[in-house]
Amino acid sequence: MLLGKTIVVTGASSGIGARTAELAIAQGADVIGVDIREPAAPQANFIAGDLSTPAGIEAVVSRLPQRVDAVLNVAGVSGVIGAEKTLAINFYGLRAFSEAIAPKIREGGSVVNVASIAGYGWRANLARAKAMVGVEGYPDIAAVIAENGVKNEEGYPLSKELLLLWTMKAAHQPLFKSRGIRVNAVSPGPVETQILKEFRSVLGDAKVNSDIDRVGRAGNASDIAPVVLFLASDAARWINGANIANDGGLEASINADVLGF
């Protein structure tokens, strides 16, 4: 169901993004990879670009074809670079890129955001999340951080909280909804990628180990990529504004503890 589709994959040079691009090609899609770093293995259609700044986003979008079928927002950072840059890459830049490319997405197309179990706390932090998602366009992120009292170590989980909330909002945003463009998210648990060590430094070994122990093992890129591509396919044509917890049962385990069942 991806045969002949043109799919943009951000973060295509490594980890989940690289595996997603590889699998999409194997399923017959024409893939345009986007990353700030060149991929280790050459990709036929690759655009080097920085999606954390308005200028970088404009430069990438200008090089994309006039029609694409899906945009898969896989690019992301762990949070070790600080809250401001993390929010620029993981949320505000991602959102600006999605909105800028929306006119090129065909009717009935798809946007898929790779979020995280780390965004689980959006309900508990709803007031702050709503305020930060409610800031339109590409804002002065340092000012937004100061206004909302964001601690530097909160950058990664906060970025994913905002992304989950925006996914639901964007599904009903006229920019996407008026043309039948679906917006969904996938939330992995701990995944064995190059930045898992960075997550340990951000979230702590105890937290990461506890999450892995709950489900028996860490995930890998091949666990996540098929679900991302499913949401981009016609098989998911009735799924919109949803988040799929692709985490080996981690969210279910946390829910059982939080809700006391």
Radius of gyration of the chain from its Cα atoms, rounded to whole angstroms: 17
Q: What is the DSSP letter of 88?
A: I
Q: Respond yes or no: is residue 138 known to be catalytic.
A: no
The Cα 220–Cα 228 span in angstroms is: 13
Beta bridge partners of 183: 111
Coil, helix or strand at residue 81 = coil
Where are the extended beta strands (E) located within 82-169? 105-114
- Neighbouring C-beta atoms of residue 128, cutoff 10 Å: 17
- The answer for residues whose C-beta is within 8 angstroms of residue 159's C-beta and 6 or more apart is 76, 79, 86, 87, 89, 90, 91, 119
Q: In this structure, which amino acid lies at residue 58?
A: E
Contact 163, 91 (CB under 8 A): yes
As annotated, the active-site residues are 156
